[in-house]
Structure 1
C-alpha cells in the first residue's frame, strides 16, 4: 500500500464497502458521541467520515487529535445505515472504521477556524493565508483560477496562437504606472525594472516574424490598490497578431472569452453580441469607459430644455462655455421618497444634490392650465366626469401625465413634457439631472446611474454583458499647464496616420480599445504604431524629442527600421476574469497570495529592510525618512 494513501477523501463509494484503505488529510471536524469518535477527514478533493471506538487500538491516539491536525489513517470501509446517508457528499454512503493512525503534522491553537463560514479581519486572513486557503470557498476559487487558465491556453492554441515567454527583468518603460526598480550589482548605479507588461517584447516578436503570440504573463506595477486591482503584480492573457485590423483582434479574442465564461459562468447568460461603443458615447451614456450594460439606463444630454428656462441654476450654467445638462432616466423611480433618497446619494458623493422630475397620472384637471385645447377645467368633479375628460384629453393627443417636483415647477409643463418625450418615460418614472462641465460631474453621474439601476432592480444579475469601447483619444491637455500628453497607450496607431497628427491633437483618435464586462475593464489593446516617422511625430506632440524616444524605446524603434509588419493585440486580466466568474467583489479572493491594501505581504514580511552587506554590494544607501 502507498505510504500515505490508497484513495483520496472523495473517492470512496458503496462499491468500496469491505475494502481496507489508507487516507491522509486534515481533521476538519471532531464529534465525540460518548465513546465513539467521528472525524470528518478532508483533503483537496473532498471529505470522508471516519470513526473509531474503544475496540480499536487507534482510539487513544485519535482522542488527542484536534482541528487541522494532518493525519494518516488505515481502516475498513463500512456502509452507513440508510437513515444516516449524506446525499450532499460523494462519500456520503460510507464511513471508514479506523484501525491505525499516524500523526503527520500536529497543529497549534488556530488563529482562524477553517471549518464553517466565520468572517475574519483581512489582516488575519493574509497573515495566515495558508490556513485561509484551506477553507472550502478559497479552495474552489483557486481551483477555478487554475481551470480558467488551462481553458484559456487550450482555446488560444485552438486559435493557432503559440505561447512564448518574455523577460521578467528588463529596462524601465513608461506604461502608465510606476516601475518596480531592481538595482544592478554588476553595473553599480544602474537599475533594471520588472515589466509593467510585455508590451515592447511582444511587438518585437511580431517584427521577428512570429505571427500569433500569447502568454499568461506576470506584470508588475507599483500602483495604489483597489478592490479590483492588485497593488503590485497581476497576470494577464497577453496576445499579439501580425497583419491584422482592429476587427481581426476582436474576432480572435471573442470566442476565447465567450467560451471561458460559458464554461465556468455557472449557467449565467453570456452575451454573444458585443457592441462597439465609442469612448465619447460611453462617457455620455454611462459616465464611464467600462459600462455595465446589464443596467439598461442610458444618460442623455437635455441642455436645450433648460436653456433660458425658469430654473436659474441650470440656465446660467449653460451660458458658460463647455457646459451641458445630462439626464439620468429612472424607469419606475417616480416617487418623491425615491427621488429624495437619490438626491441624498449625490450629496454623499460630494455634490450639492441632483435635480429631479417624476411623472404621474394627471389628477383630473387640465395639465396645461389655460390651454384652449383642454378648456378651463372639468364641468363636474364627479369621478365619471373626470375619467371622461381624461379620456378626451388622451384622444386629443395629450399624454395624460403630469410632472412633479421642484424642478418641474421651475421650468414649466411644456419643457417637462419635452424632456419626458425625449427620454421615453411615462407614468411612474423619474429623471435626475446634473450639470456643468462633463469632466467635473461625469464620474458621479456614472455612479448615480449604477445606484439608480441597483435600487430599482433594473440590473440583470445572472448575465455577462460585454462591450468594446473604441475610438479613444490619444492625447489630453492638462487643465492647469495646458501641456499636451498621452491620455492612453503611447504605442497606438493614430487613426489617419501621419495626416491626423498635423491638426488639433485633442481630436486625434487611436486604434485603441477596451473590453468592458459588468462594469469592469477586462481587456485593453490597440493596433500598434509600427512606423518610426509616425511614432516620432506622435511623441513630439507630447513633448518628447526624437533623441528621448530613441533613448527610452531604442530597441523597438531600431527594430521598426527593418520591415516591421502592421500588428496589434490586447491583454485580458486573468484576476478580474476569475473574480467575475467566482462572483467575488474583491480581487484578493481569487489570488493565491495577495498583498494587503498597503502593498504588504504580512505572511512573508515584505517589503523588508536590506542588510548592510547587501546595500554595500549594490552601492546603495537608504536615506532617513523625513519626519
Structure 2
C-alpha cells in the first residue's frame, strides 16, 4: 500500500510548526508515534527528528478514501500529510511538547512506507536491554533522546571546527593505514595484499603525523578524526572513537592551555548554556594524587584524602607502623554524616577496599555524643586517636576511613572509595561541571610485568628542562610537560609539549629500553625528519564522545555514538567481527589456526 511522494515537498519539520502558521497549509512528513481512533476521528502523533505534532483525520476534511487510509496506519508507518494548522481546544492542549497547543487537520495523506511491529517501543529513556537496542540500532536511533544526543554531538563538532578555523588552524587529514609502533594500547592490524605477510596498523592517534606537520611548517593543525585501540571496553571507552585533535608550533604549556580554555568556554556556553569560568583551576599530578587519589579528580565534592602518617608514626599499631616502615603511608577520608552507617555498610566498604588492592580498611565512627566506635582504637593511645580525628576534622556523626599500604595502593583504594561514597550519598550532580587541569605528570612509570620503564603518556612527550639531567640516572623522578583536562572525574582531553630535539628523543627511547637500532627501525622516519629543523611544538586531543556524554548527562559513550560496539567489541546489528572466505585469506597470504583457549 506504499505510495510515492511525487509532487509533494515537505514545508515544515513537525516541531517547527508554530502559532504564526495558524490558518496556513503545511506539508509534514515523518513516523507515526501513536494512533488513536475515536470513531469518526483519528488522531496521530507524527514524529520527526525535531519532535511531535498532532494530526487530526476526519471524514469531512479528508474524504472517505483518505479516512480509510488513516484507519489503516499504525505505529512507525512513514506518512506524508497535507493540512491546515489549527489551534487545539483548550481541554486538549498538551503542555509537554512545544507544539502542544496546535494540530494539523489533514486534507491529504500518503502512506510512504508501512512498518511491522518493532521489537521495542520507540520512546524516550527506554528500559529495554542495551544488547537488544543495539541489535536494532536503526530503530533505537529513532528515539527522541538519542536523536538529541546526536544533534548535540553535531553541534559540538561544528563549534570546535568553527572556533579552530577562526584561530587560524588548518584542517588536515592524516593516514588511516600506517605502521604499527610499540607503546600504548594494542593496535588493530590490517593485512596487506600487495606486501604478503606485512601489516598496516589503524592509528591509535595521529600523533607522529601531526608532529611531522609542525616540522613541515603548517603551524596550526586540527582534525576531527577516528582513532582505534584494541583494548578492553568500559562505559567511557570504545575500540573506535573520535578525537578533536590539534597541534601548534612555537608554543609552551600556557599557550596550549590558553587556546583550549577559550575553546571549552565557547563549546559549553553555546552548546548547553554552561558558563566555564576562566582560568580553569590547575593541580599538579602529585597534588591530585595526594588530595583525591586520582589523576582525574572529581571536584564536585570534597572528601579529600588526608595523610595521617605523621601522627600515627611509631604508634604501636602493627598495620600502620608496617606501612610507614616500608616507605608507604597511612591516609584517610572523612565521610561527613556517615557515622550512623550500619555495620553491614561499613563492611561492604571494607570489601570494596580489598577489591581495589588494599589488605583491608580501618575505620572510626564518631558517635553523636563524641565517643568513638571502632575496631582499631583499642590498639592506639587516646592522644593518637584524638590527633587522627583532629587532622581529619572529624565531628560527631562522621565516619573516618583509613588505608595503610604503599602509596599506589592507598591512592587507588581511597580514591575509589571516595567516588563510591559520593555516588551513595548522591553528591554527583550531572548538572554541575567542574573542570581542572592536571599538570606535571611523571614522564615515565615502571612496568613490573615488562621490567622496564614505559611512557606515562607517550614517548614523544618533552621532559621538564630542569629534570633532563635525571633522564639517564633517575628516570622515575623526571616530570613531563604534559597536561590533562579533567571534567567531573573524566579525562576529556590530554596533551603535552613534544620533544623536538633528536638527541633528547634518542635519550627518551633509550630510557624506554630501546637500543639505537630498534629506535631507528621503528621510528626512523621521525628521527630522520628531526635532522631538518623542527619548531618547538605541542598539542592536545579531546575525546569528543566523552565530552558529549557528559554534556547530555549519560553514563555511557555508547549513547552518543551512532553505531557503537558492546563490551566484547562486537556489533550486534552487523554481527561484526565475522569470518571471511578462504579466497580472501589466500589473497592476503594468511592462514588461520583457531587456538583453543583454556
Q: Give the TM-score normalised by the residue count of structure 2.
A: 0.92
CA gap of 1:458–1:339, structure 2 versus 1, over 3 A, is farther
Aligned partners of 1:181 and 1:192 also within 8 Å: yes
Quote the residue 1:377 is aligned against. Answer: none
CA gap of 1:227–1:139, structure 2 versus 1, over 3 A, is same
Tell me whether 343-352 or 578-587 shows the greater mean CA deviation. 343-352
RMSD: 2.2
Counterpart secondary structure, 1:124: helix
2:437 maps to which of 450, 468, 484: 468
CA gap of 1:23–1:484, structure 2 versus 1, over 3 A, is closer
Q: Does 2:305 align with 1:299? A: yes
Quote the residue 1:534 is aligned against. Answer: 504
CA gap of 1:602–1:455, structure 2 versus 1, over 3 A, is closer
Q: Does 2:123 align with 1:115? A: yes
Deviation at 1:304, TM superposition (A): 2.6
Counterpart secondary structure, 2:168: coil
Quote the residue 2:390 is aligned against. Answer: 421
Deviation at 1:474, TM superposition (A): 2.0
Cα distance in 1 for residues equivalent to 2:582 and 2:80: 46
Deviation at 1:407, TM superposition (A): 2.3
Tell me whether 12-21 or 499-508 shows the greater mean CA deviation. 12-21
1:314 maps to which of 310, 320, 340: 320
Counterpart secondary structure, 2:531: coil
Quote the residue 2:108 is aligned against. Answer: 100
CA gap of 1:479–1:620, structure 2 versus 1, over 3 A, is closer
Q: CA offsets, 1:486-534, max 9 Å, x none?
A: 3331111111364232321111111112111101011111111111111
Aligned partners of 1:333 and 1:339 also within 8 Å: no
Cα distance in 2 for residues equivalent to 1:298 and 1:178: 35
Task: Give 1:200-599 correspondences, 5 Å limit.
Answer: 200-230=208-238, 232-265=239-272, 267=274, 270-319=276-325, 321-335=326-340, 337=341, 341-350=345-354, 351=358, 353-360=360-367, 402-456=371-425, 458-459=427-428, 461-479=430-448, 482-496=451-465, 498-599=468-569
CA gap of 1:452–1:338, structure 2 versus 1, over 3 A, is farther
Cα distance in 1 for residues equivalent to 2:268 and 2:17: 32
Q: CA offsets, 1:579-602, max 9 Å, x none?
A: 000000011001011011111112
Cα distance in 1 for residues equivalent to 2:435 and 2:169: 23
Quote the residue 1:6 is aligned against. Answer: 11
Dislocated runs of 4+, deviation >4 Å: 401-404, 456-461
Aligned partners of 1:343 and 1:355 also within 8 Å: no
Cα distance in 1 for residues equivalent to 2:359 and 2:320: 13
Quote the residue 1:48 is aligned against. Answer: 53
Aligned partners of 1:4 and 1:72 also within 8 Å: no
Q: Does 2:33 align with 1:64? A: no
Deviation at 1:129, TM superposition (A): 0.6
Counterpart secondary structure, 1:58: helix
Deviation at 1:175, TM superposition (A): 4.7
Deviation at 1:329, TM superposition (A): 2.1
| Structure having the higher Rg | 1
Aligned partners of 2:40 and 2:58 also within 8 Å: yes
Cα distance in 2 for residues equivalent to 1:214 and 1:514: 18
Quote the residue 1:159 is aligned against. Answer: 167
Cα distance in 2 for residues equivalent to 1:597 and 1:481: 27
CA gap of 1:338–1:242, structure 2 versus 1, over 3 A, is farther
Counterpart secondary structure, 1:467: strand
Tell me whether 480-489 or 200-209 shows the greater mean CA deviation. 480-489
Quote the residue 1:15 is aligned against. Answer: 20
Deviation at 1:559, TM superposition (A): 1.2
Deviation at 1:346, TM superposition (A): 2.6
Cα distance in 1 for residues equivalent to 2:21 and 2:327: 77
Q: CA offsets, 1:459-497, max 9 Å, x none?
A: 555321112112222222233664333333111111136
Q: Count residues in correspondence.
A: 585
Quote the residue 1:368 is aligned against. Answer: none
Counterpart secondary structure, 1:304: helix
Q: CA offsets, 1:51-95, max 9 Å, x none?
A: 213342311112111110111122233332233233433333332
Tell me whether 436-445 or 350-359 shows the greater mean CA deviation. 350-359
Aligned partners of 1:77 and 1:97 also within 8 Å: yes
Aligned partners of 2:264 and 2:276 also within 8 Å: no
Cα distance in 1 for residues equivalent to 2:450 and 2:166: 50
Deviation at 1:149, TM superposition (A): 0.8
Q: Does 2:153 align with 1:182? A: no
Cα distance in 2 for residues equivalent to 1:136 and 1:511: 43
Tell me whether 587-596 or 102-111 shows the greater mean CA deviation. 102-111
Aligned partners of 2:13 and 2:28 also within 8 Å: yes
Q: Give the TM-score normalised by the residue count of structure 1.
A: 0.88
Counterpart secondary structure, 1:31: strand
Cα distance in 1 for residues equivalent to 2:189 and 2:125: 40
Quote the residue 1:81 is aligned against. Answer: 89
Deviation at 1:352, TM superposition (A): 5.4
Counterpart secondary structure, 1:91: coil
Cα distance in 1 for residues equivalent to 2:551 and 2:124: 23
Counterpart secondary structure, 1:10: helix
Deviation at 1:266, TM superposition (A): 5.1
Aligned partners of 1:39 and 1:49 also within 8 Å: yes
Deviation at 1:424, TM superposition (A): 3.0
Cα distance in 1 for residues equivalent to 2:195 and 2:448: 41
Counterpart secondary structure, 1:272: coil
Q: CA offsets, 1:173-210, max 9 Å, x none?
A: 23501111111122222111111100001101110111
1:24 maps to which of 26, 29, 36: 29
Tell me whether 511-520 or 574-583 shows the greater mean CA deviation. 511-520
Cα distance in 1 for residues equivalent to 2:491 and 2:563: 23
Cα distance in 2 for residues equivalent to 1:478 and 1:598: 26
> Structure 1: any 5+ residue segments left out of the alignment?
364-400
Cα distance in 2 for residues equivalent to 1:450 and 1:125: 29
CA gap of 1:116–1:184, structure 2 versus 1, over 3 A, is closer
Aligned partners of 2:51 and 2:144 also within 8 Å: no
Cα distance in 2 for residues equivalent to 1:170 and 1:352: 45
